[in-house]
Amino acid sequence: MAERILPTPDAFATCPLDGKILEYYDGTFEAVFVLLHPFIQAVSIGVEQFFPATYPSRAALVPNCSPVSWKEVASKAGLRSLAAVDIGLRTMIRGLKVELSNQDYADRIESLIDSHQILPPPEGCFSDLLYDRVLQAIQSLGYQWVWVGDEFGTERKLIWIEDLKGPTAKATSGHCNVFTPDKELLWTTHWDSHFSFLCSSRHNLAAIQEANQFEGFFCTPLTEV
C-alpha cells in the first residue's frame, strides 16, 4: 500500500511548527503580530482548580479572573525580559531542549501561584481572557464569517463570528486556526507556545493594535517560532 503523505498545508490556514515566521507566510501575509496570552490572576476562584481534571471553563474563568501582562510577571518574578518569561513558561511544560531551558526562570514564575495567585496561560490554545476581544477585532475590519480549521489544515467549517463568542462556545477549543473567507487574516497558535499569531496586512494589524493595545510585538524577518 502506498504511503499516505499529506499535501503541503495552506499557509493562510495553518501555523508554522518551526523556522522563521515571516518566511513561512511569505506571499500570503505581509505582517505577523505575536499576541502574548496574559497570565491569569485568580480573583474569586481557587488556584487549586487549575489542574487538567478541574480546569475552569471559559464561563467560569472569565468573570472570576483578571489578566496579568507578561511585563508585570517579569517584574514580579525578577526576570529581565519577555524572552525570559517565554523560556520559563516553555521550561515548565518541557517544551524546550534541556540546553535551552532554564529551571530558575520556571521556578520564579511558578512561585507567583502561591504568592500572588497568578497562574500561567495554558499552552497551544487561544486565551480565554482575550478570546472575545480578538473576535471583536476581526469584526471591526468588517468580517462577519470565519473559517475554523484543524491544526493541520485538513478540515474546516464556516462559522458566523457571533456564534463563536461567549463563554460556552466550543468550536475553537484545542489546537485550531481561524481565518477569514478572503484569506486576508489568520489567527493561529503554536503547540508549545503561550501566544498566538495574528497574520494579515500591516494596515489591518496596525488598526487592530491601535484599537486594542494587545501585549506583543510584530515579527521581523529574523523572528522564529
Q: Is residue 109 part of a domain?
A: yes
Domain boundary among 100, 119, 138: 119
Domain boundary among 75, 93, 119: 119
Tell me which residue of 203, 199, 189 sits closest to 150, measured CA to CA. 189
Domain boundary among 119, 150, 182: 119
pTM of the model: 0.94
Distance between CA atoms of residues 32 and 87, nearest Å: 21
Decide if 17 contacts 151 (C-beta within 8 A).
Answer: no
> Do 131 and 200 belong together in one domain?
yes
Q: What is the pLDDT of residues 87-143, one digit of tens each?
A: 999 999 999 999 999 999 999 999 999 999 999 999 999 999 999 999 999 999 999
Distance between CA atoms of residues 140 and 124, nearest Å: 25
Helix 70-77 with 82-92: angle, nearest 10 deg:
80
Mean pLDDT of 165-184: 84
> Do 132 and 205 belong together in one domain?
yes
Q: What is the pLDDT of residues 40-78, one digit of tens each?
A: 999 999 999 998 889 998 989 999 999 999 999 999 999
**Number of Cα atoms under 13 Å in the Cβ half of residue 224:** 3
Q: Is residue 189 part of a domain?
A: yes
Q: How many domains does the chain have?
A: 2
Q: Is residue 64 part of a domain?
A: yes
List the domain range (segments joined by +) for residue 43: 39-119
> Do 22 and 46 belong together in one domain?
no
Residue 196: predicted pLDDT = 95
Q: Is residue 25 part of a domain?
A: yes
> Do 15 and 50 belong together in one domain?
no
